[in-house]
């Protein structure tokens, strides 16, 4: 997909989105909107029981309905090779290969018809009989079956430094409590959507995905097709946040149906179908014990987390990971356990692990501060980790002290009333709370191709391509800036393209790694191409730069010049016109090296929140949030603020609203729509004041970025919960914080 913007803007400046005009004019085509001739429509039939077997599927009535092309069931679905899942990137898919029901909402049939209305109507006429068994849905009933999972994302589930039991025993003050977070469902504006079409043995798929290359490879493996015969395209994503990072059952089902009916098939999940078949944030129970001396020095940290997974696949919410590294203590132990429930497999949701884990840890730190009679910021500074407690490595950079100070000063933390309920505005209780934000800096191998050419008007233009994806975060824009900066061209002369599996591969847009991974590849290849152009000029007898040392050549605005004498130089056009036979194209990889063995790499932040709680109604409003982040180099100030604002808003929703309710008798999702599954709207969000620390990190990657997509949600729920305590004296340890949990106390 081609985008461009006529501005000369350098990296870091608040450049408008290059894809903005396409989006506001309707020119941006999402996966379900790609014009496709002779397209058929598919609708999934879902199970209405949680466990058991399908005894029979009566599809004759549906098959006779006008426009119906096929009803695909386990009886007639194409047979697929046995698949071995590779969690967490590959899911155990339910593709109509057997009659086993594993969770309520599982795909058990697929209706394909000429129109969406015909397919929907026919899907309601498919009658299913089950031999069901009682499901296990409640965590309380499953807690006794906890087990230790294998490694998660390359990290062990348990860790231990020192002797935690001894550290707790020697503490002057100890707190130990359990904190819980519920199942939370993704609700991006764009639901999952797929268009699949065959041309002989070649398959083209338009899919809403966060991982173009991974999507292609998984589809190919699942359908037993060569990867080079699968063309996967994903130009625009209407929000991902983790749920679109994996291939779910509907994607291969669409391709299977397209082969059966011999036509392109479109399959778009309904909002209700977004609950169950495509993952959710798992519920957690986290028990934290902290011990400290009277002066606030931590003597021990113990963080044990239990989260749920499906009966047929392990997915771990790594909620205790930040407790291994955030605060200095001689004794730290963490543990992760799973329980299997008869639900669909959970998945990544924005800052998986750290979002839920910082709620527990940062709430516990606030409780310890109260028990010590100590300011919460002072407690954190007392235990500030100068090196990573988990591995002893130095930080690649860490500006957390500055974050505490800057955000605290802007918030007015020094004037906070420590006494719960001590600050009022008539019948409204006002509370102030804070928490630390943290998220690891990740990076994967990425590749990119770049070209320089002269257009018909005589201007040199750059084209840069990589099979990454823009999940709504501004990847098109920041990569254009990175490419223009490295090429030495104005941004209006650079075109950046992504979303096509035939381009050089890039990793998943997850773990806040796209800017670091894909951005590094773009920077490296564009820098190399610019240097190749400089070498042409230096070796050219007719160039003003002839015999100049290559290291002394600079580039800006489409012009090469001598560093010590900017007047001596020439335009890119002049060089290329003298060398029309030179193909200025380069493909390069950028991959992590040994830096993670030498440094510990994280983005940090400080979050301060003010809440207002109605004494009579218990209604909680977040009046303002002030936050400061140290996240390396900021590629675009405007898109970065947008990312962090979105994370904070999500954190407010996590604190006060979001909760997926499941009927424990049937495994059915009770509030599977946006009328009953509450997310923040404008009226729920007060003033957001976000700032950055100017942080130079030469170690993390070639462009010095840390990623900001996920750090923005971390710490927010705890800051709000701590503010609610400060307002009411009620310590709510079970999210979400609803009015019934504070109402009795506020009326006292």
Q: What is the structure's pLDDT at 667?
A: 97
Q: Which two tokens stand for residue 339?
A: 């329980």
CA of 525: how far to CAs of 13, 118, 339, 551, 558, in Å?
A: 22, 50, 46, 17, 17
Q: What is the structure's pLDDT at 155?
A: 87
Among 285, 367, 695, 710, which one carries the catalytic annotation? Answer: 710
Reduce the DSSP state of residue 161 to 3 states and report it: strand
Whole-angstrom distance, CA of residue 644 vs CA of residue 712: 5
Q: What is the structure's pLDDT at 152?
A: 74
Tell me the whole-structure pTM to 2 decimals. 0.96
User: Mean of the per-residue pLDDT values for the chain?
Assistant: 96
Q: What is the structure's pLDDT at 696?
A: 96
Q: What is the structure's pLDDT at 9?
A: 53
Residue spans of alpha helices (H) in 539-600: 572-578, 595-598
Residue spans of alpha helices (H) in 11-150: 20-25, 60-63, 116-123, 139-142
Q: What is the structure's pLDDT at 87?
A: 52
User: Which stretches of the chain score pLDDT less than 70?
Assistant: 1-9, 84-90, 745-748
Reduce the DSSP state of residue 268 to 3 states and report it: strand
Q: What is the structure's pLDDT at 2?
A: 35
Reduce the DSSP state of residue 387 to 3 states and report it: strand
Beta bridge partners of 289: 176, 302
Q: What is the structure's pLDDT at 606?
A: 99
Q: What is the structure's pLDDT at 748?
A: 59
Model confidence pLDDT, tens digit, residues 127-182: 999 999 999 999 999 999 999 998 777 789 999 999 999 999 999 999 999 999 99
Give yes or no: 676 in active site: no
Q: What is the structure's pLDDT at 151?
A: 77
Between CA 75 and CA 80, with CA 77 as vertex, the angle to 5 degrees is 120
CB within 8 A of 589, min separation 6: which ones? 445, 446, 447, 521, 524
Give the number of residues written for the chain. Answer: 748
Q: What is the structure's pLDDT at 58?
A: 98
Q: Which domains does the chain have, with CATH numbers?
A: 34-134+189-239+244-274 (3.30.365.10), 284-442+597-747 (3.30.365.10), 444-591 (3.30.365.10)
Q: What is the structure's pLDDT at 582?
A: 84
Q: What is the structure's pLDDT at 1?
A: 38
Whole-angstrom distance, CA of residue 210 vs CA of residue 279: 14
Of residues 531, 476, 541, 553, the one with CA closest to residue 509: 476
């Amino acid at each position: 997909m081609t985008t461009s913007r006529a501005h000369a803007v350098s990296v870091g400046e608040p450049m408008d989105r290059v894809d903005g005009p396409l989006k506001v004019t309707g020119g941006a085509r999402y996966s379900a909107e790609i014009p496709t001739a002779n397209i058929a429509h598919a609708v999934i039939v879902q199970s209405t029981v949680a466990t058991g077997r399908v005894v029979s599927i009566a599809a004759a009535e549906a098959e006779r309905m006008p426009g119906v092309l096929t009803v695909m069931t386990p009886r007639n679905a194409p047979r697929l090779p046995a698949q071995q899942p590779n969690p967490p990137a590959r899911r155990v898919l339910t593709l109509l290969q057997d009659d086993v029901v594993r969770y309520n909402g599982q795909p058990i049939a697929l209706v394909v018809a000429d129109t969406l209305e015909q397919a929907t109507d026919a899907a309601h006429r498919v009658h299913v009989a089950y031999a069901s068994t009682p499901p296990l849905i409640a965590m309380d009933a499953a807690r006794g079956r906890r087990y230790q999972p294998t490694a998660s994302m390359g990290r062990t589930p348990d860790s231990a430094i020192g002797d935690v039991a001894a550290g707790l025993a020697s503490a002057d003050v100890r707190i130990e409590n359990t904190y819980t977070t519920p199942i939370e469902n993704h609700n991006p504006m764009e639901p999952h959507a797929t268009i699949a079409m065959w041309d002989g043995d070649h398959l083209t798929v338009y899919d809403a995905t966060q991982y173009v290359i991974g999507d292609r490879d998984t589809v190919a493996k699942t359908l037993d097709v060569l990867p080079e015969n699968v063309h996967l395209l994903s130009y625009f994503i209407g929000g991902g946040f983790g749920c679109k990072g994996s291939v779910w059952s509907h994607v291969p089902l669409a391709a299977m149906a397209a082969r059966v009916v011999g036509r392109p098939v479109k399959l778009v999940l309904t909002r209700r179908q977004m609950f169950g078949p495509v993952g959710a944030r798992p519920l957690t129970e986290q028990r934290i014990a902290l011990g400290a001396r009277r002066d606030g020095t931590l003597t021990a940290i113990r963080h044990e987390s239990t989260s749920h997974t499906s009966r047929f696949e392990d997915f771990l919410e790594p909620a205790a990971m930040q407790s291994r590294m955030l605060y200095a203590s001689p004794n730290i132990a963490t543990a992760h356990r799973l329980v299997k429930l008869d639900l669909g497999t959970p998945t990544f949701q924005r800052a998986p692990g750290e979002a839920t884990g910082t709620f527990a840890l940062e709430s516990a730190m606030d409780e310890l501060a109260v028990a010590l009679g100590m300011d919460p910021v002072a407690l954190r500074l007392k235990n500030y980790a100068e090196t990573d407690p988990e591995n002893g490595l130095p930080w690649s950079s860490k500006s957390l002290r500055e974050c505490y100070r800057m955000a605290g000063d802007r918030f007015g933390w020094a004037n906070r009333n420590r006494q719960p309920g001590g600050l009022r505005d008539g019948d409204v209780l006002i509370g102030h709370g804070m928490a630390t934000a943290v998220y690891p800096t990740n990076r994967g191998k990425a590749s990119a191709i770049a070209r320089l050419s002269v257009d018909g008007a005589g201007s040199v233009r750059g084209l840069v391509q990589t099979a990454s994806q823009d999940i709504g975060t501004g990847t098109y824009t920041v990569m254009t800036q990175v490419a223009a900066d490295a090429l030495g061209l104005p941004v209006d002369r650079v075109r950046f393209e992504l979303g096509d599996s035939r381009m050089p591969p890039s990793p998943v847009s997850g773990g806040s790694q796209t800017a670091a991974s894909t951005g590094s590849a773009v920077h490296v290849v564009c820098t190399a191409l610019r240097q190749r152009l400089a070498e042409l000029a230096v070796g050219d007898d007719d160039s003003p730069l002839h015999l100049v040392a290559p290291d002394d050549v600079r580039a800006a605005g489409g012009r090469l010049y001598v560093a010590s004498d900017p007047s001596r130089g020439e335009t890119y056009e002049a060089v290329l016109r003298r060398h029309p036979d030179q193909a200025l194209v380069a493909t390069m990889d950028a991959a992590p090296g040994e830096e993670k063995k030498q440094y510990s790499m994280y983005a940090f932040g400080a979050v301060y929140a003010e809440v207002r709680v109605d004494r009579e109604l218990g209604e909680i409003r977040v009046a303002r949030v002030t936050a400061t982040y140290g996240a390396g180099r900021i590629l675009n100030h405007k898109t970065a603020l947008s990312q962090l604002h979105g994370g904070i808003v999500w954190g407010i929703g996590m604190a006060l609203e979001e909760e997926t309710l499941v009927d424990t008798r049937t495994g059915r999702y009770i509030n599977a729509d946006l009328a009953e599954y509450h997310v923040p709207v404008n009226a729920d969000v007060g003033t957001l004041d976000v700032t950055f620390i100017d942080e130079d990190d030469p170690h993390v990657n070639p462009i010095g970025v840390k990623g900001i997509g996920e750090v923005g949600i971390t710490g927010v729920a705890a800051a709000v919960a701590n503010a609610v305590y400060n307002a009411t004296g009620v310590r709510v340890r079970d999210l979400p914080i609803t009015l019934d949990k504070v109402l009795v106390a506020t009326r006292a």
